[in-house]
Chains A and B, each alone.
Chain A
Amino acid sequence: MAVRLDKPWIALTDANVAALAGHLGVYQLANAADVIVYIGVADARSMFGLRGELAAMRDNPPAQASQFRIEVTMSYRTRHLELLQAYLHDHGGLPVANTDIDQARLGRLRPG
């Protein structure tokens, strides 16, 4: 499977979020310029999984996030780490709104 998430972006609207199932998984948020501003995870503590997490993001969008994309996965913890590490490798830092992650504790990935 691909390391980076490259699905099309979906508008962060009530209707689009309501259409999501309550699966566990990972997601990315982007601003209107398609710049990733946050990489998040719906883990087993999330109420209603990805739908619940993205509903919270829609109510309080970080860094002017207006779009999202998701990946449903039961390996949500390792996939979240992988997406963060791949972004760190590509950009030299984490997305602007990922202040919840301690960059120093992340591993170093060098995807091809």
Chain B
Amino acid sequence: MDFALTDEQRMIVDMVRRFVADEIVPLEAGLDPDADEVPPDELARLVAITKEMGLYGLDTPSEYGGPDIGLVTRSLIAIECAQHRAGLYAPCYYAFGGSRQAQLFEATDAQKEKYLEPMLRGEAKMFFALSEPSGGSDPARAIQTRAVRDGNDWVLNGTKLWISGADRADYGLLFARTGGPGRAGVTCFIVETAWAGFNVRRIVHTLRSAKYATEIQLKDLRVPHANILGEEGGGFSIASERLSRQRVPYAAECIGVAVKAHQMAIEYAKIRETFDAPLASRQGIQWMLVESEIDIRTSKLAVFDAASKADQGEPFRIESAIAKLVASEASGRVVDRSMQIHGGLGVAKDLPLERWYRELRIRRIGEGPSEVQKHIIAREILGAGLR
């Protein structure tokens, strides 16, 4: 494996790193430590800069105006964008365009015109609703939301849980059961939040405030047949594809936070003295820093292995599961060590460590818990007999 960066990748990394240091970090000084957004005028200014950089709309294909970058470069950017207080769940406060619902790029022309284009123009927001109270790790079996055909419409009833952004979205992708149990019974619908029967019941309060989750209740929600995305019964493959690809930059963001926390620990260990000697002179502290260094390097290898395979068009399902598992777990350990080295300051809101600690704990569960990643890997290495 050759993970040497190209000149272009080095230039992009330097550019994004300067952007975070010069534009984002100073901005955070005036915000609440848990803030996840900046005032609209500030965001517009930041977006103008990222557009000038040619990096706006990171997850938008180049044919739709996004930058022409692969998953390795996307991961490099994710590592840099996460290196500030809000960086894990609100990287650069979405100045690079926020997340896209990539499945819409495969939509029909009519669906693209109505739903994709407004989103690309920044005029509309979307959500992605897969998980339910019955579970999110095994959607093929857990989905109980039911869609029943009625003429040219489908009537949906059920509950979705842990859905980010549904209260502010204009429409979204929602998965419901149109057939029997298992994968073939799940269909993806494009639903509009203004339609009668679509209700965001509550915000689900968790360890994070950025990109908060909501609970959606569907009560006789009528969805036109034309709003099926892909094929009837083809919803699971849409969800599965998204999750595999998304795991890689998701893992890279974890590394970004770990890199910053590790830098802070190193700097603090050099200047903080106890018993007439700097912390850095103590073997106990040195070993903590060494373990963090190993955690970060190991995570980077896993992420770039997955991203590189994806860029080369090779299967990367097992690699993306390993990357997500390794990076989310390792980054949590790195931040935990950094907090320990910082002592009382580490748990105070004066520093970003306590926020990263809380948010990274979610990363071991979000986008498939560590145990599900292990299950994915086990299935791949043991074969279909385990399914």
Contacts and interface: CB of A to CB of B under 8 A. Distances in A.
Contacts of A91: none
Contacts of B212: 78, 81
B202 interface: yes
A75 B202 contact: no
B203 A78 contact: yes
Task: Name A's interface SS.
Answer: loop
Given A43-B34, A44-B34, A45-B32, A109 B205 contact: no
A69 interface: no
B168 A78 contact: no
Nearest to A75: B205
A82 B214 CA distance: 10
A45 B212 CA distance: 21
A101 interface: no
Contact of A108 (B36, B200, B202, B206): B200
Contacts, number: 57
B209 interface: yes
B93 to A, nearest CB: 14
Contacts of B214: 107
B60 to A, nearest CB: 24
B205 A73 contact: yes
B167 A108 contact: yes
Contacts of A58: none
Contact of A81 (B35, B203, B217): B203
B201 interface: yes
A84 to B, nearest CB: 11
Nearest to A81: B203
B36 A109 contact: no
A111 B168 CA distance: 15
A111 B34 contact: no
A22 to B, nearest CB: 13
Interface in A85-100: 85
B196 to A, nearest CB: 10
Nearest to B125: A107
B33 interface: yes
B101 interface: no
Contacts of A105: 40
B200 A44 contact: no
A43 B32 contact: yes
B199 interface: yes
B349 interface: yes
B167 A77 contact: no
Interface string B31-72: 011111000100000000000000000000000000000000
A33 B230 CA distance: 55
Given A44-B34, A77-B34, A107-B167, A82 B202 contact: yes
19 contacts: A1-B205, A3-B201, A45-B33, A77-B32, A77-B34, A77-B35, A77-B209, A78-B203, A78-B209, A79-B203, A85-B203, A108-B168, A108-B193, A109-B200, A109-B203, A110-B199, A111-B201, A112-B201, A112-B217
Which 6 A-B residue pairings sit nearest by Cβ, starting from the closest? Answer: A107-B167, A75-B205, A77-B209, A110-B199, A107-B168, A43-B32
Given A107-B167, A107-B214, 16 more contacts: A1-B205, A3-B201, A43-B34, A44-B32, A76-B34, A78-B203, A79-B203, A79-B205, A81-B203, A81-B212, A85-B203, A105-B40, A109-B200, A109-B202, A111-B202, A112-B199
